Amino acid sequence: MKQANANFDFDDDAPLLEAEGLTVSYSTSEGELIAVDDVSFTVQEDEIFGLVGESGCGKSTVAQAVLGLLPTNGAVPSGSIRFRGIELTELEKRELDALRWENLALISQGAMNALNPVQRISTQIVEAIQAHRDVSTDEARERTAELFETVGLDPERMDDYPHQFSGGMKQRAYIAMSLALDPDLIIADEPTTALDVIVQDQILKRLKELRDELGISVIIISHDISVIAETCNRLGVMYSGKLMEYGNLKDIFENPYNPYTLGLQNAFPTLRGEQSDLISIPGSPPDIADLPEGCRFMERCPFATAECGGEHPPLESVGDDHASACYRHDIVDEMRREAGDRETWARLRSEVVATGGAGDE
C-alpha cells in the first residue's frame, strides 16, 4: 500500500527503503567515532526486515539516521538513505517532519512511556490525527476506535488514562497511534524488550498481521535473534558498526556463513533443536573508540587466522540474496559443525583470558 505525500515526488519503481554505504559518526571528547560503518541494505514493500546484534553494534543509530532523529553530535558523513527514491540525508528538518508519522513511524522500547500520563489515550490519538488530517473529532474518534481494534485493544477502553493500562497495553496503544496516519514503514526498535514473553509474542504477531492486512513494512531491531527469526523475512546481522551477514532469513538460518551469526544462534538455543543449553560468545565487542585493524569479530572468533588481521572482510555474495563478511567461507561446513560444540568456544574463552584480550563476560 503506497501512501502519497503532497510534499514529495516518490519514485514508484524504487525500493521502499535503501541504505547504501551508510556511515554514521558521533563527535565526542575522544574524537569522531564511527558507530555505523559502510552499511547497505534494502527493505522492500510488504517486508519485515530485521537488524540484529549485541548492544552497541549500531542498530539504533541506523534507525535514528533513517528517521532523521540522530542526537546533535551525530552525523552521516557518507552514504545514502533513500525512501522510495527520496534522499533522506539531504532533507531539511521540516521535510523530515512531513515524512514522519505520514510515511515513517518509530516504535521504540520506551514508546509506551511517551504517552502523556495526564491525557486520555483517545485525546492523544485524536490530536495526532487532527494535526495531519482535516477531520472532525467524531471522525478521528471513530478512527481511534478502529486503531484500537487493529492492535487488539478493546475500543471501550480508549478514553482511559495511560496509568490504567498495563505495559503491554500501553505499548499497543502507542502502536495504534503510530498507525493513525497509515505509514508505509514502521521502525520498531526493541519494541517488546520491556515486556513479558507472552505479551512480547502477541505484539510481534500483531506486527506481522499488520504487514499482511495493511501492507505495512516493518524494520524490527532486536538483540534477540529468536525475535528476528519469528517475525522477519529478511535480516542484517550487525557487529561493531558493520553488517556481518545479510539476506533472506531462511538461507541465513539454515545455512549461516558467518561465525558471528553462528555464535548468536548458539546464544538462543531455541533456534537449534538439537541443543538444549546456551553457549555464549566469550568476551565482548570492541570499543568503537579503539577498533581492531582486521575483522572486528576476530578476537572473539574461534575460526580466526592471521589472514583475518589485515582489514575487515568485505561482504561477499554466498547465494541469491545472501552475503557474509568473513575470510573463512572456504571452511564453512567445518565452522557450522564446530560452532554447535561448547568446546569450540570454551577453547577460545581460555585463549581470551590467557592473552588478556577482550574480557570474559
Ligand X SMILES: Nc1ncnc2c1ncn2[C@@H]1O[C@H](COP(=O)(O)OP(=O)(O)OP(=O)(O)O)[C@@H](O)[C@H]1O
Interface residues toward ligand X, by CB under 6 A: 26, 28, 33, 35, 53, 55-61, 71, 73-74, 223, 288
Least distance from C-beta 21 to ligand X, angstroms? 17
Yes or no: say if 203 and 171 are a contact pair by the CB < 8 Å rule: yes
Least distance from C-beta 36 to ligand X, angstroms? 7
Q: Considering beta carbons, is residue 61 or 144 the nearer one to ligand X?
A: 61
Yes or no: say if 348 and 355 are a contact pair by the CB < 8 Å rule: no
Residue 329: left (phi > 0), alpha (psi -120 to 50), or beta? alpha
Which helix (H) or strand (E) segment is 290 a member of?
none
Residue given cell 514473553 in the structure block: 197
Least distance from C-beta 53 to ligand X, angstroms? 6
Least distance from C-beta 238 to ligand X, angstroms? 7
Which helix (H) or strand (E) segment is 180 a member of?
none
The length of the chain in residues reads: 361
Least distance from C-beta 32 to ligand X, angstroms? 10
- Compute how many other C-beta atoms are within 10 angstroms of the C-beta atom of residue 361: 9
Q: Considering beta carbons, is residue 60 or 217 the nearer one to ligand X?
A: 60
Q: Considering beta carbons, is residue 181 or 298 the nearer one to ligand X?
A: 298
Per DSSP, the residues of 8-63 read ----TTS-SEEEEEEEEEEEETTEEEEEEEEEEEEE-TT-EEEEE-STTSSHHHHH
Q: Considering beta carbons, is residue 93 or 163 the nearer one to ligand X?
A: 93
Q: Considering beta carbons, is residue 66 or 153 the nearer one to ligand X?
A: 66
